[in-house]
């Protein structure tokens, strides 16, 4: 079966991305873009594609949620024994991709992932709704399970054993922070002549350059 999708076309009309108007720090521009998409649209602007190295040599990508960003990097939370956790343990070089079609923008980040502090992981875990905390505890993420009923029954057993005690963060669950080494900003432009600005961290400061579309 073959499907030809060449008739799906869109013309981009984003505002120009000019070097003279850009900050020296990519986090400043990221924050500006993130504030714009958050204020204008009701989508999940913090959804990002995380790519890691799989043990079979193939890259592995999935959508996760950004839970914070600062001068130190971009943070998210997961099960450390999941595919992504095992991939990061083997190779801490990862990439993050944000795509915001409403503003015809994309941000690609390459960086080094490391675990957040236990205090940070505890604080985020305890801020989650109760059901989300229970799911994090009972799920052997990325492992084979016999059925959906198996998971539902596991949740109910855990609930009955809680005895009104708040669940604690399991040691195999917590955060990662990705310290960026490069950040590329992509702005859709007419006639596929898109604007691409690349920031690379060199010698204690960021250097920016323009890439061909």
Spatial contact of 171 and 192, defined as CB atoms under 8 Å apart: no
Domain of 183, in residue numbers: 19-120+172-211
- Taking CB atoms within 8 Å and a gap of at least 24, the contacts of 37-44 are 37/100, 37/102, 37/103, 37/105, 40/102, 40/103, 41/100, 41/102, 43/100, 43/102
Contact 67, 124 (CB under 8 A): yes
Please say whether the beta carbons of 52 and 94 come within 8 A.
yes
- Which residues face 198 on adjacent strands? 184, 209
pLDDT computed for residue 139 by the predictor: 85
Q: Residue 5 falls within a domain, yes or no?
A: no
- Say what the pLDDT of residue 17 is: 95
pLDDT at 154: 84
The CATH number for 85's domain is 2.30.110.10
Per-residue pLDDT of the chain (213 residues; tens, 9 = 90+): 888 887 787 888 888 999 999 999 999 999 999 999 999 887 899 999 999 999 888 999 999 999 999 999 999 999 999 999 999 999 999 999 999 999 999 999 999 999 999 999 999 999 999 989 988 888 888 888 889 988 888 888 878 777 778 899 999 999 999 999 999 999 999 999 999 999 999 988 999 999 999
Q: Are 187 and 195 in contact (CB under 8 A)?
A: yes
* 8 Å CB contact between 54 and 61: no
Q: How many domains does the chain have?
A: 1
Residue 160: its pLDDT value, please?
A: 76
Sorted by sequence, the CB contacts under 8 Å of residue 104 that are 6+ apart come out as 12, 13, 14, 187, 188
Q: Is 68 helix (H, G, I), strand (E, B) or coil?
A: strand
Task: Say what the pTM is.
Answer: 0.91
Residue 41 is predicted with a pLDDT of 84
The answer to whether residue 194 is domain-embedded is yes
- Quick check: is 126 in a domain? no
| Residue 150 burial (10 A CB sphere; 0-12, 13-18, 19+) | exposed
Cα(183)–Cα(205) distance, integer angstroms: 13
């Amino acid at each position: 079966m073959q499907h030809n999708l060449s008739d799906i076309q869109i013309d981009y009309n984003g505002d120009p991305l000019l070097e003279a108007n850009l900050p020296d720090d990519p986090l400043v521009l990221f924050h500006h873009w993130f504030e714009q998409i958050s204020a204008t649209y009701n989508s999940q602007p913090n959804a990002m594609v995380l790519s890691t190295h799989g043990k079979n040599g193939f890259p592995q990508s999935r959508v996760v949620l950004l839970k914070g960003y600062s001068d130190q990097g971009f943070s998210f939370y997961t099960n450390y024994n999941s595919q992504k956790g095992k991939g990061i343990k083997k190779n801490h070089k990862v990439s993050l991709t944000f795509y915001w079609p409403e503003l015809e923008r994309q941000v690609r980040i390459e960086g080094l992932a490391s675990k957040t502090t236990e205090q940070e992981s505890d604080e985020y875990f305890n801020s989650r709704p109760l059901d989300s905390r229970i799911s994090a505890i009972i799920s052997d993420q990325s492992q084979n399970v016999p059925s959906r009923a198996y998971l539902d029954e596991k949740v109910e057993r855990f609930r009955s054993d809680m005895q009104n005690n708040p669940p604690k963060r399991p040691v195999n669950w917590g955060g990662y922070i990705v310290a960026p080494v490069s950040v590329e900003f992509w702005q859709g432009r007419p006639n596929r002549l898109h604007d691409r600005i690349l920031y690379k961290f060199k010698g204690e400061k960021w250097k920016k350059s323009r890439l061909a579309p």
